[in-house]
Amino acid sequence: MPDPFSTAQTQLDEAAVIMKLDPAAHELLRSPMRELHVTMPVKMDNGSTKVFRGFRVQHNDARGPNKGGIRFHPDETIDTVRALATWMTWKTALLDIPLGGGKGGVICDPKTMSAGELERLSRAYIRQIGRILGPDKDIPAPDVYTTSQMMAWMADEYAFMQGNNEFGVITGKPIALGGSAGRGDATARGGIYCVREAAATLGINLTGAAAAIVGYGNAGSSAHKLAVELLGMKVVAVSDSKGCIYNADGLDYDAVKTHKEQTGSLNAFPGSTAISSEELLALDVTVLFPAALESVITETNTSHIRAKIIAELANGPTTPEADTILYNKGTYIIPDLLCNAGGVTVSYFEMVQNAYGYYWEEEEVHKRLEKKMKSAFQSVHKTAQQYKVHNRLAAHIVAVGRVAEAMKLRGWY
């Protein structure tokens, strides 16, 4: 599997050539500006002390404070976090929100930890990285296997460190603690708005059309609900880390969600057939939503993909080789930088609401999100046509251009 950071660097390099990017700006953007590596002793329920390792990477803050989620994952590596921090810089620039890019990661397996252990680990992580955080410096948020409850513990720990409540230091908090209405499903909702734009552009009718979803965490499960509710699609297949289920007539969201909550997996959902992950990717669907981890779509499985639109709710699901193959065969990819940027966009709305202590209705959040997503979609689509490149490269050209302009104005090169 390709290392995500070299993928991120390759994507930048390709954009840099087309844009004739200044060599110093290019070099600055190839590496994170700052990173912190930490170790954290945590008391476990059995009385032992376990030492965890984690990172916080600040890729670039030319356009504003670093912003990006925190992942708790057993296979976390510094290179993955570097790649994800880089992608956050592009994402915030592409959506034109006044923030930079950052990402955090802790090597742990949250599925095997108790709530108490997770709380102690969340607090320990903030005690270690808190010195480089702040509403004007770096603002974390949820990501893979981190939840709004963990954001609440982290915000609380930071408040104690500072001696005052600074809720704007973390986003994705519960609504009762300064979270924003509409943040819960914002990643999926932003992606759904993009699918609607893409279908209109391509002249595809989505009503009754089939979709498949890889990954059933926050983004994947919300995409299931919203693809049905907002687009009138039928979701014929979904998967999680334990298996894939299929029903040609469509899977009912509420029933699947309840089944997963009760049994801990999607497997054996009544009325569904078990299929392999390769079979899921090869289904004849209109939209495929990769909503799990990196590098799921590679050069070895692209030839089987029949979806007309790939809507990347995960970060980095497609390798650069797969990108080129899919572009040449006419698959329309809505790249991660655009497709999943609804999350960070509503995170930004959350920071704004925290800063002025006044909270918006959910409809207001949806309206503002839709406007942001549509305008980013149009700039990617137009740039792709202008330069005759695939959408991911177009998204990089737009984003890198904006970050380079800010660095130039600041006198960094």
User: For strand 234-240 and strand 332-334, is the pairing parallel, antiparallel, or unpaired?
Assistant: unpaired
Tell me which of 26, 56, 59, 67 binds ligand GLU, using CB under 6 A: 67
180 makes contact with ligand GLU (CB under 6 A): no
Query: Residue 36: what are its φ and ψ, rounded to 5°?
Result: -120, 130
Distance (Å, whole) CA 104 – CA 85 = 8
Q: Using the minimum distance from each CB to ligand GLU, give the nearer residue, 7 or 272.
A: 7
Residues 275-334 that bind ligand GLU (CB under 6 A): 315
Tell me which of 171, 239, 318, 353 binds ligand GLU, using CB under 6 A: 171
Active site residue 20: no
Distance (Å, whole) CA 359 – CA 71 = 27
68 makes contact with ligand GLU (CB under 6 A): yes
Tokens at residue 353, please? 């609401």
Query: Residue 56: what are its φ and ψ, rounded to 5°?
Result: -135, 125
Per DSSP, 327 falls in state: H
Q: Using the minimum distance from each CB to ligand GLU, give the nearer residue, 84 or 397.
A: 84
Q: Using the minimum distance from each CB to ligand GLU, give the nearer residue, 332 or 349.
A: 349
Residues 333-362 that bind ligand GLU (CB under 6 A): 340, 343-344, 347
260 makes contact with ligand GLU (CB under 6 A): no
Catalytic: which of 67, 91, 103, 308? 103
Q: How many residues bind ligand GLU (CB under 6 A)?
A: 13
Q: From the CB of 229, what's the least distance to ligand GLU, in Å?
A: 22
Q: Which residues fall within 8 angstroms of residue 382, CB to CB, at 6 or more apart?
A: none
3-state helix, strand, coil in the chain (%, to 5): 50, 20, 30
Helix (H, G, I), strand (E, B) or coil at 74: coil
Distance (Å, whole) CA 276 – CA 299 = 18
Q: Using the minimum distance from each CB to ligand GLU, give the nearer residue, 138 or 323.
A: 138
Q: Are 50 and 56 in contact (CB under 8 A)?
A: no
Distance (Å, whole) CA 271 – CA 377 = 37
Q: Using the minimum distance from each CB to ligand GLU, give the nearer residue, 272 or 347.
A: 347
Q: From the CB of 84, what's the least distance to ligand GLU, in Å?
A: 7
Residues 80-99 that bind ligand GLU (CB under 6 A): 91
Q: Using the minimum distance from each CB to ligand GLU, give the nearer residue, 144 or 236.
A: 144
Tell me which of 14, 143, 156, 294 binds ligand GLU, using CB under 6 A: 143
Residue for token pair 């006419």: 330
> Which residue lies nearest ligand GLU, judged by its C-beta?
69
Q: From the CB of 346, what's the least distance to ligand GLU, in Å?
A: 7
Q: How far is CA 104 from CA 57, 68, 125, 126, 399, in A?
A: 6, 7, 10, 11, 21
Q: Provide the residue count of the chain.
A: 413
168 makes contact with ligand GLU (CB under 6 A): no
Helix (H, G, I), strand (E, B) or coil at 262: helix
**Interface residues with ligand GLU (CB under 6 A)?**
67-69, 91, 141, 143, 171-172, 315, 340, 343-344, 347
Enumerate the active-site residues: 103
